Amino acid sequence: MIPSPVSVEAEILQDEAARLGMTLRLIGSLAVSLRCESTRHLAQSLGRRVPRDIDFVAYSSQSEPIERLFESRGYVLHPAVRHSREWGVKRLIYTGTAGHKVDVFLDELVMAHTIPFAGRLGGDGRTVCLADLLLSKLQIHRITENDLIDMVILLGAAGFGPDEDEIDLAYIAGIMGADWGFHHTTLANLGKLDEALERYTALSPEVAATVRARTRELAEAIEAVPKTTRWRLRARIGTRVPWYEDVEEVDQ
């Protein structure tokens, strides 16, 4: 597989950050492709759009040297971010010289639902762990076909377990047991994934069966995990009030 220009640029940014003592971990579609070597070919056969942007997670304690790194490579900080930083928004958005966008989420990914990363960016890998990578897809309220395909690639490649090349099911279930809104969105997206498998005729029966079985295993674990008092109180309200954050996309 020939690396795309954005994947090459992501690697350069990570290597330079590591040289300077900073941590940048990939999240999003580039991370899915990088971690799922056995199934990433499915992106093309299922018609997934080639990733055009780069998404990182980093620590806010390193935000200043990270900003200097991006500036040194000709990146321009989006004007909207300059103002949002005053309100405590932990996100950097850059435009590169080639026209691609780079998102850097600091300490947490705050989108439709929030994924915490405090203490979870250790190790030598280039991406966040597989559980966090799956969570980043499950949290999307208005999930797209590209996101569903990413989940097929991810669940087709990795089963559940505690090892580095497995998805930590207990961690995901624990988050769902404490957050009714995230739980509700996740089960809806797993249902959409199950439906999508019926129309993904390019998938082999074996891969489709594997993804379907893991989807159901995940849904069952999420349903079975003990729920917190906060979860139960929020469940009484249900969908009468929004259960997700409506985060607008920032145009380049």
Reading the chain (252 residues) residue by residue, the pLDDT tens digits are: 667 899 999 999 999 999 999 999 999 999 999 999 999 999 999 999 999 999 999 999 999 999 999 999 999 998 877 666 555 668 999 999 888 999 999 999 999 999 999 999 988 899 999 999 999 999 999 999 999 999 999 999 999 999 999 999 999 999 999 999 999 999 999 999 999 999 999 999 999 999 999 999 999 999 999 999 999 999 999 999 999 999 766 554
Residue 219: phi and psi, rounded to 5, are: -60, -40
- The reported pLDDT for the residue numbered 235 is 98
Q: How many other CB atoms sit within 10 Å of the CB of residue 137?
A: 24
- The reported pLDDT for the residue numbered 79 is 83
Q: Count Cα neighbours of 97 within 13 Å in the Cβ-side half-sphere.
A: 6
Q: Using an 8 Å Cβ cutoff, are 29 and 42 in contact?
A: no
Domain positions in the chain are 5-240
Buried/exposed code over 212-240 (b: 16+ C-beta within 10 A; e: otherwise): bebbeebbebbeebebeeebeebeeeeee
Q: Using an 8 Å Cβ cutoff, are 95 and 101 in contact?
A: yes
The rounded distance, in Å, linking the Cα atoms of 177 and 58 is 26
- The reported pLDDT for the residue numbered 114 is 97
Class of domain 5-240: alpha beta
Mode of pairing for the β-strands spanning 76-77 and 54-58: unpaired
- The reported pLDDT for the residue numbered 3 is 79
The rounded distance, in Å, linking the Cα atoms of 145 and 192 is 10
